[in-house]
Homo-oligomer: A and B are copies of this chain.
Amino acid sequence: MTTIREDRNVKRTAAAIPAEPGSDREEQTLSAVAYRRLRQDIVSGVFAPGQPLRLELLRQRYGLSFSPLREALNRLHAERLVVAAALRGFSVAPVSADEMWDATETRILIESEALRRSIANGDDAWEARIVAAFHALELQARRTRSNAASDDDVWQLEARHREFHHALIANCRSPRLLGLADQLHAETQRYRLPSLTGGSRAAIRDIAGEHREIMEAALGRAPAEAVTLLAAHYRRTAEERAAALFSD
């Protein structure tokens, strides 16, 4: 009891300070905390696909009350990461080959268009961001592959990968396309294979090379080629995952 009140007072005070730029800003509401943490835990597989998300369990895990949890679950439901059955609560959305391919092809549709527009609007800052993201991704990939990769290394690699793909389409000037790309990224991310993250199969595919080709086509203002390469990149990833997860 006391601990809770103390905690909350601390947060209040912190929230009153107007968010120093550059620093990790304090979350504004508990609903936002619940949303962020739940999304992360679903995408990263802490909760298995199909698993019922019992409110009492979540309440204990996150130390929150029902209201913010239900709000977060409703948002995730709209994003297709959880399914809801009336009067029977929420579950993690199930996975299947069909769902994975639907998410993958929809992602290709969205990001292809976003990439075309991003190239058309491309400027110096856009190019610089892509080059920087590619470089950071390569460094982190090497770091993750070489020595025994820590969990943080794997997490960093995913963040760099996300940033690289986001940088490519960042100049498309469509808030909807960017939002959908983010959402579909989260959905496809659920099919990521733990065994492959730094494993042997990765060597078969020259992922870094694929990234480089996409980047060069984008910077060279060759939209058709860039889109073809990007689609192939995503389809290869999906095929790899389908083969391992659904044993086609």
From known contacts A75-B74, A176-B80, infer whether A109 and B113 are also in contact, taking CB-CB under 8 Å: yes
User: Which of B75, B86, B87, B106 meets A176, CB within 8 Å?
Assistant: B106
From known contacts A71-B74, A74-B74, A79-B78, infer whether A87 and B175 are also in contact, taking CB-CB under 8 Å: no
Interface membership of chain A positions 172-192, coded 1 if the CB is closer than 8 angstroms to chain B and 0 otherwise: 001111011000000000000
Chain A: interface size category: 20 to 34
Can you tell how many copies of this chain the complex includes? 2
CB-CB nearest in chain B for A76: B78
The verdict on A3 contacting chain B, using a C-beta distance below 8 Å, is no
CB-CB nearest in chain B for A77: B75
The verdict on A29 contacting chain B, using a C-beta distance below 8 Å, is yes
A100 to chain B, nearest CB (A): 12
CA distance A180 to B184 in the complex (A): 12
A143 to chain B, nearest CB (A): 35
CA distance A174 to B32 in the complex (A): 30
> Residues of B contacting A175 with CB < 8 Å?
102
User: Which of B31, B86, B174 meets A105, CB within 8 Å?
Assistant: B174
The verdict on A217 contacting chain B, using a C-beta distance below 8 Å, is no
The verdict on A103 contacting chain B, using a C-beta distance below 8 Å, is yes
User: Which of B78, B103, B106, B177 meets A75, CB within 8 Å?
Assistant: B78
Is B78 within 8 A of A78, CB to CB?
A: yes
Is B176 within 8 A of A102, CB to CB?
A: yes
User: Which of B32, B78, B176 meets A103, CB within 8 Å?
Assistant: B176
Is A29 within 8 A of B80, CB to CB?
A: no
The verdict on A121 contacting chain B, using a C-beta distance below 8 Å, is no
Is B87 within 8 A of A28, CB to CB?
A: yes
The verdict on A70 contacting chain B, using a C-beta distance below 8 Å, is yes
- A-B contacts, 9 of them at CB < 8 A, read A28-B87, A29-B87, A67-B70, A70-B71, A75-B75, A102-B174, A102-B176, A106-B176, A106-B180
What is A's interface to B at a CB cutoff of 8 Å? Answer: 28-29, 31-32, 67, 70-71, 74-75, 77-80, 86-87, 102-103, 105-106, 109-110, 113, 174-177, 179-180
